[in-house]
């Protein structure tokens, strides 16, 4: 399929340019649609690496007269990408000194030893970690601990019971990683994609800050998380009765020893980073506002969440560690997923091309026929479309392809674009059905303890549940 699409995608794009004129008098609309078609097919089929496909606008937009090269290149390195880089480097520092493992084990020791408590503890630890580090890293931290527990249980308990419990435990970890990431802007790439694409289309709209998103998304994430845990419990743990020996967690925690100087530095840096994100802008409380710290500077609007992320990252490179190294070094920082950085840039450039060429307006005109539908039905259609897409494609790529269309549709239908764009973004994180849907699913499937049928059955229920929760939440509470 990938090799076939490598050839067929350019052919379809050329046919589109030669035989269709979407907007007479404005060939750039057709050219942009052809580039978008090429990128969409290659992203969906992964004919070439996603990051390489993301570089196409840097070449094709200037050649086709859609945008000049200087303007396109600016989208590959901007404030949102700096936010991602800064947040990820702090996360890598946590991993370098095993601080993330300490957090995970501590949560497990707090939660208890019954099956439902163990699953809740693992899911809670994973969800919390995935708010601040990548969902892939959060899953990788928890899986070895989970597999150690499963191995111990297999020595003492009937195999059938352990098999059922282990499926629930591992699926819970994967699902909690995806759900937890929805709570913060740095938790999952689609959230950052929304921030930038929304600012491209609606530059006069209020900024979606880290704190603004967190306050909005956290209640939904908590409810979604509890529903996912209850589903796992009912399907896999309801009649399973045994107790896990807490000594295993104590031994693992004891191996870490007392908190090292490096861990203290990382923890303080992490806490300061979160506090600075939350307090950067004014905080409304009742009838008054607590001024944000950015108001202390000459031009507060010049400071954004990306500025804060980089400011709190830099000290890690010159604060010395006890072995004469520094807390963070470039060898560790170079583990950044640079492919995701390019994928972001390509998506932002594509979104800008949609707007600059007039393709967004053209889509909006075509979608005016949906005006007879109730907004609630439109929300259902968009949510289900994103949930289906994200099972088979990168959720970042899917979000970046669909958000410009949703923005244009909202303008055309004269409805507030933010609820629909937030709905699209949150739905993109509901990738629960297949091993290929998201890295946490693939990691869990790689343990050979989960069958595709188990993941598909549980994931289908959770996908539908997620769609209902997201739609209901946005319908009842609006957005921000």
d(CA 138, CA 3): 33
Give CA angle at 49 (47, 55), nearest 5°. 105
Does 142 or 34 have the greater pLDDT score?
34
- Of 50, 11, 10, 4, the C-alpha closest to 395 is 50
Q: Which of 8-22, 56-70, 87-101 has the lowest mean pLDDT?
A: 87-101
Phi, psi of 100 (to 5 degrees): -65, -35
3-state secondary structure of 340: helix
Distance, CA of 85 to CA of 116 (rounded, Å): 36
Do 272 and 282 form a contact (C-beta atoms < 8 A)?
Answer: no
Q: What was the pLDDT predicted at 159?
A: 58
Adjacent-strand bridge partners of 285: 288
> Is-contact 394 43, C-beta < 8 A?
yes
Q: Give pLDDT, residue 369.
A: 67
User: Tokens 């630890």, residue?
Assistant: 125
pLDDT number for residue 367: 64
Asked if the model's pLDDT at residue 191 lies above 80, the reply is yes
Three-state DSSP state, 288:
strand
Global confidence as pTM: 0.72
Higher local confidence (pLDDT), 392 or 7: 7
89 phi and psi angles, rounded to 5 deg? -65, -40
DSSP 208: -
Mean local confidence (pLDDT), 217-227: 94
Q: How far apart are CA 282 and CA 449, in angstroms?
A: 48
Q: How far apart are CA 175 and CA 432, in angstroms?
A: 7
Per DSSP, the chain holds a count of helices (H) and strands (E) of 23, 2
Residue of higher predicted confidence among 316 and 402? 316
Find out whether 428 and 395 touch, Cβ atoms under 8 Å: yes
């Amino acid at each position: 399929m990938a090799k076939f699409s490598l050839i067929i995608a350019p052919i379809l794009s050329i046919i589109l340019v030669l035989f269709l004129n979407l907007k007479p008098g404005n060939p750039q609309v057709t050219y942009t649609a052809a580039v978008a078609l090429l990128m969409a097919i290659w992203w969906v089929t992964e004919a070439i690496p996603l990051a390489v496909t993301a570089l196409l606008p840097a070449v094709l937009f200037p050649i086709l007269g859609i945008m000049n090269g200087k303007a396109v290149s600016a989208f590959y390195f901007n404030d949102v990408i700096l936010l991602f880089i800064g947040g990820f480097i702090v996360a890598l520092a946590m991993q370098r000194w095993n601080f993330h493992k300490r957090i995970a084990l501590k949560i497990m020791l707090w939660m208890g030893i019954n099956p439902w408590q163990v699953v809740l503890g693992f899911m809670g630890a994973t969800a919390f970690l995935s708010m601040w580090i990548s969902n892939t890293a959060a899953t990788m931290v928890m899986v070895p601990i989970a597999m150690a527990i499963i191995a111990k249980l297999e020595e003492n308990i009937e195999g059938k019971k352990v098999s059922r419990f282990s499926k629930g435990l591992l699926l819970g970890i994967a699902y909690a990683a995806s759900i937890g990431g929805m709570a913060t802007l740095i938790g999952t790439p689609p959230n950052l994609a929304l921030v930038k694409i929304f600012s491209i289309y609606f530059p006069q709209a209020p900024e979606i800050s880290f704190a603004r998103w967190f306050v909005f998304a956290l209640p939904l994430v908590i409810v979604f998380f509890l529903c996912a845990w209850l589903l796992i419990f009912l399907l896999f743990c309801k009649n399973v009765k045994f107790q896990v020996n807490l000594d295993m967690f104590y031994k693992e925690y004891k191996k870490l020893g007392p908190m090292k100087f490096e861990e203290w530095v990382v923890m303080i840096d992490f806490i300061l980073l979160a506090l600075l994100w939350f307090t950067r802008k004014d905080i409304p409380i009742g009838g008054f506002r607590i001024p944000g710290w950015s108001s202390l500077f000459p031009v507060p609007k010049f400071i954004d969440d990306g500025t804060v992320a980089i400011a709190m990252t830099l000290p890690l490179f010159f604060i010395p560690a006890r072995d004469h190294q520094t807390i963070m070094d470039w060898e560790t920082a170079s583990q950044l997923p640079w492919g995701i950085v390019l994928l972001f840039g390509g998506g932002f450039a594509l979104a800008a091309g949609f707007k600059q060429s007039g393709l967004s307006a053209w889509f909006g005109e075509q979608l005016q026929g949906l005006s007879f539908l109730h907004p609630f039905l439109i929300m259902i259609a968009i949510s289900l479309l994103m949930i289906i897409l994200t099972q088979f494609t990168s959720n970042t790529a899917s979000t970046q392809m669909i958000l410009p269309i949703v923005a244009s549709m909202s303008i055309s239908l004269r409805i507030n674009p933010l609820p629909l764009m937030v709905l699209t973004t949150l739905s993109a994180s509901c990738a629960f059905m297949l091993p290929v849907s998201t890295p946490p699913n693939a990691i869990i499937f790689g343990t050979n303890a989960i069958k595709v049928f188990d993941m598909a059955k549980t994931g289908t229920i959770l996908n539908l549940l997620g769609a209902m929760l997201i739609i209901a939440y946005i319908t009842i509470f609006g957005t921000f």
